[in-house]
Amino acid sequence: MEIKTDVVIVGTGVGGLFTALNLPRENKILMITKSDVKSSDSFLAQGGICVLRDEEDYDSYFEDTMKAGHYENREESVDIMIKGSTDIIKDLVGYGVEFEKNGEEFVYTREGAHSKPRILYHEDITGKEITSKLLAQVRRLHNVTIMEYTTMIDIIEKGSQCAGIMAVTKKDDKEEELTIWAANTVLASGGIGGRYKHSTNFPHLTGDAIEISKKHGVRLDNLDYVQIHPTTLYSKKPGRRFLISESVRGEGAVLYNKDMKRFVNELLPRDVVTQAIHEQMEKDGTDYVWLSMEHIDKETIMCHFPNIYQHCLEEGYDVTKECIPVVPAQHYFMGGIWVDSDSKTSMKHLYAVGETSCNGVHGANRLASNSLLESLVFAKRAAAAISGTPQCK
């Protein structure tokens, strides 16, 4: 089966959805996703989304991002993300996204490696709130078609340029191969967590776009930069690990060893906390450490972290009364398909956004709650580049 379209977008997370929303309505757009539309890591993001609160916060925010990334970040990209953050929040609010407020004012929380509170949130399901609202907006667009259970198996290369993709779609237990011709292709297919035994990611996210890009000689970058999240709920059950948001530690949760003694500053960067936990587990001869929310009042737990509370309760732990066992797990991929500041890859007419791309914002280690923001800022820039709209650096 052959399909012709103006733009094909591989992935329906925030990167893919926001690209579609920012493209001209006269563009015919096809979006494909490997599973159903809600099985995207964007739906799983708990903590929140960063924003530049005011001009006085710029230097601090920039330094926090660079320091967390071990100063291997691309400075131009960091600057673009931070300066673009306020417009992104305005866009999201315009699409119906609701962030925590005190009256008419936003409430900001803090996470590890942030020098001050600058994170907007919606309970502990910020990703779900943002992604579901964007998905609802995309579904209203007459120029966008979404195909679920459709997997990209290759890109079409003609004269060293991308001319679309090859895909396989499943329907009624039957597979059909698709040739999708497109003037522009956007890869927004997420991370690589499906390649790991312990990961917070959906298992079908296996880095397909990266493998395909490598085959076609598309430039890749920092493929060894994989972030391990320090705190996921320990379980012997197979499958995806349940994340215990860094916001919990930002609100005062502490980590204990087997003797119930604190062993690390919980607000250090994720890689540092992860290393400390691994060292402590080895020292204690345990498979986990303890996370205690004893310093967080019950009202905050129930209002800010209702889903974490409920999930832990279902696993047999009441976080308002007892510690929970936590262990590090694969969480985020900082490397990927190299892109410039407009999300263009090294192949003409091929773009990449979100976790599958590498624009250098995160360096060697992502600062908490920069992922949703980075995806949205550079998805908007990809759409602008495709439509020929000049963007400020």
Tens-digit pLDDT profile for residues 242-291: 999 989 999 999 999 999 999 999 999 889 999 999 999 999 999 999 99
Q: Are strands 336-338 and 357-358 parallel, antiparallel or unpaired?
A: parallel
**What is the mean pLDDT of the segment spanning 220-224?**
97
Rounded to whole angstroms, the Cα distance separating 310 from 329 reads 21
Q: Residue 36, SS3?
A: coil
What b/e readout covers 170-193, taking b as 16+ CB neighbours within 10 angstroms? Answer: eeeeeeeebebebbbbbbbbbbbb
Confidence band (pLDDT; 50, 70, 90) for 239?
Answer: confident
The yes-or-no answer on residue 219 being catalytic is no
Q: How much is the average pLDDT of 136-149?
A: 98
What domains does the chain contain, in order, with CATH numbers? 2-149+334-387 (3.50.50.60), 228-330 (3.90.700.10)
Sheet containing 357-358: which strands, arranged edge to edge? 220-221, 336-338, 357-358
Q: Each residue of 143-186: pLDDT tens digit?
A: 999 999 999 999 999 999 999 999 999 888 889 999 999 999 99
Taking the alpha carbons of 153, 339, 17, 66 in that order, is the dihedral positive or negative?
positive
211 pLDDT more than 80: yes
Q: What's the confidence (pLDDT) of residue 173? A: 82
Which element (helix H / strand E) includes 161?
strand 161-171
186, 23 in Cβ contact below 8 A? no
Range 60-71 average pLDDT: 97
- Joined together, the tokens standing for residue 30 give 């096809």
**pLDDT in the model for residue 279:** 98
Query: 319, 295 in Cβ contact below 8 A?
Result: no
Residue range 98-112: average pLDDT?
94
When comparing pLDDT for 392 and 111, which is higher? 111
| Exposure letters 199-219 (e unless 16+ CB within 10 A, then b) | bbbbebbbbbbbebbeebebe
Q: Is the pLDDT of residue 47 over 90?
A: no
User: Distance (Å, rounded) from C-alpha 243 to C-alpha 51?
Assistant: 22
Percent pLDDT > 90 in the chain is: 93
Residue 116 token pair? 């001050």
Candidates 277, 290, 291; CA nearest to 248 is 291
Distance between CA 34 and CA 380 in Å, rounded?
Answer: 23
Q: Is the pTM above the cut of 0.75? A: yes
CA distance 341 to 166: 27
3-state secondary structure of 91: helix
The pLDDT assigned to 390 comes to 66
**Average pLDDT, stretch 212-225?**
97
Task: Look at residue 386 and give its three-state secondary structure.
Answer: helix
Rounded Cα distance, 197 and 195, in Å: 7
Choosing from 53, 74, 249, 270, the catalytic residue is 270
Which residue has 């602008």 as its token pair?
384
Q: Which residues contact 104 (CB under 8 A, 6 or more apart)?
A: none
Give the whole-angstrom CA distance, residue 248 versus residue 309.
11
Q: Kindly state the average pLDDT of the residues 305-328.
A: 96
Buried b (16+ CB within 10 A) or exposed e, 258-273: eeeeebbebbbbbbbb
Dihedrals phi, psi of 192, to nearest 5 degrees: -125, 15
Mean pLDDT across the chain: 96
Within 8 A by CB and 6+ apart from 214, the residues are 220
pLDDT for position 392:
59
Given a contact cutoff of 8 angstroms between Cβ atoms, the answer to whether 219 and 338 are in contact is yes
Band the pLDDT of 198: cuts 50, 70, 90: confident
pLDDT at 237: 86
Split at pLDDT 50, 70, 90, the class of 112 is: confident
Q: Terminal CA-to-CA distance of the chain, rounded, Å? A: 41
Calculate the alpha carbon distances from 196 to 119, 172, 277, 331 in Å.
29, 30, 19, 10
Return the pLDDT at 351: 98
Q: What per-residue confidence (pLDDT) applies to 87?
A: 98
Looking at residue 389, its pLDDT comes to: 75
Rounded mean pLDDT of 333-361? 98
Residue type at position 355: E
pLDDT tens digits, 328-339:
999 999 999 999
